[in-house]
Amino acid sequence: MTRKRVFEIIEKADYEDKLSAAYDYMMIVVIVLSLIPLAFKMENTFFKVVDKVTVTVFIIDYFLRWATADYKFEKHEAWSFIRYPLSPMAVIDLLSILPSLTIVNSGFKVLRVLRMLRAMRVVRVFKAMRYSKSFAIIGNVLRSSKDSLVSVCALAAGYILISALIIFNVEPDSFGSFFEAIYWATVSLTTVGYGDIYPVSTLGRVITMVSSLFGIAIVALPAGIITAGYMNELGRKQDEQ
């Protein structure tokens, strides 16, 4: 089997290619299996076997993708093989592998330090994005709406800072630090309202009400942008088909 054929199989499936589609479905099953042990506090032989088998599949997949990186980046040069490990999905792949290597090589002191990465095995769920058409559509929506979303995020961050500054000076006794004021402003912006930190004066409560009302509008903006982008992307896909 040539490297080009390997690349065609392991990359995002062309569902007319049965072998490529089967590979994607297999990887989704492996990802789901690898997450099962994370739902339990206990460790047993079955979970260890599942972890070793799934991480072996991930390692093979990682090196196959690395070995065919020149086809992915459409450059038959050494630079492609240097660029691939730094790509976002390759980083996710590596982070999903490293924590399990500490189980296999627990005798090495250096690798014991990596045990803290075991909690990062949950990043395996993000590997599924590579094999899902829905995630691919969402990724396209986020890229096409990037400027609008960045503007909304900047607006939200500015509003949080301004609200925090105002409430921190209006009610200095209710907020021990500026960070607590930022926490309050964030909670008010999202209209969650945990109630662990709150203003007690009339002016402080008025500011809270105004902050919550504006928060509804600011929080609704990203949802509208993403929804509009999603509908446009679906329409584009239908036109292509």
Domain 146-240 in the same topology as domain 3-131: no
Query: Which residues are CB-neighbours of 136 under 8 A, at least 6 positions away?
Result: 12, 129
H-run or E-run covering 39: none
Which two tokens mark 191?
A: 């209209």
Q: Are 14 and 20 in contact (CB under 8 A)?
A: yes
Determine the Cα–Cα distance for residues 175 and 165; give it in Å rounded to an integer.
11
For domain 3-131, which architecture applies? Up-down Bundle (1.20)
Determine the Cα–Cα distance for residues 147 and 25; give it in Å rounded to an integer.
34
State yes or no: pLDDT of 1 exceeds 80. Answer: no
State yes or no: pLDDT of 101 exceeds 60. Answer: yes
pLDDT > 70 in the chain, percent: 80
Q: What is the pLDDT of residues 8-59, one digit of tens each?
A: 888 765 657 778 878 888 888 888 888 787 777 777 888 888 888 988 988 9
- Supply the pLDDT for residue 124: 60
The full DSSP string for 93-147 is HHHHHHHHHHHHTTT-HHHHGGGGGGGGGGGHHHHGGGG-HHHHHHHHHHHHTHH
Top-level CATH class of 146-240? mainly alpha
- Supply the pLDDT for residue 225: 84
- What is the reported pTM? 0.57
Look over the chain and give the mean of its residue pLDDT values, rounded to a whole number: 78
State yes or no: pLDDT of 141 exceeds 50. Answer: yes
- Supply the pLDDT for residue 123: 59
Q: Report the residue count for the chain.
A: 241
- Supply the pLDDT for residue 104: 47
- Supply the pLDDT for residue 113: 45
- Supply the pLDDT for residue 115: 42
State yes or no: pLDDT of 103 exceeds 60. Answer: no
Domain ranges of the chain: 3-131, 146-240
Closest CA to 136 of 6, 7, 10, 11: 11
- Supply the pLDDT for residue 13: 55
Determine the Cα–Cα distance for residues 10 and 21; give it in Å rounded to an integer.
9
To which residue do tokens 């065609």 refer?
Answer: 8
Which two tokens mark 97?
A: 């592998």
Q: Are 124 and 34 in contact (CB under 8 A)?
A: yes
Q: What is the pLDDT of residues 109-140, one digit of tens each?
A: 444 444 444 455 555 666 666 666 666 677 77
Q: What is the pLDDT of residues 174-208, one digit of tens each?
A: 888 889 889 988 888 877 777 788 888 888 888 88
Longest dimension (CA), the chain: 74
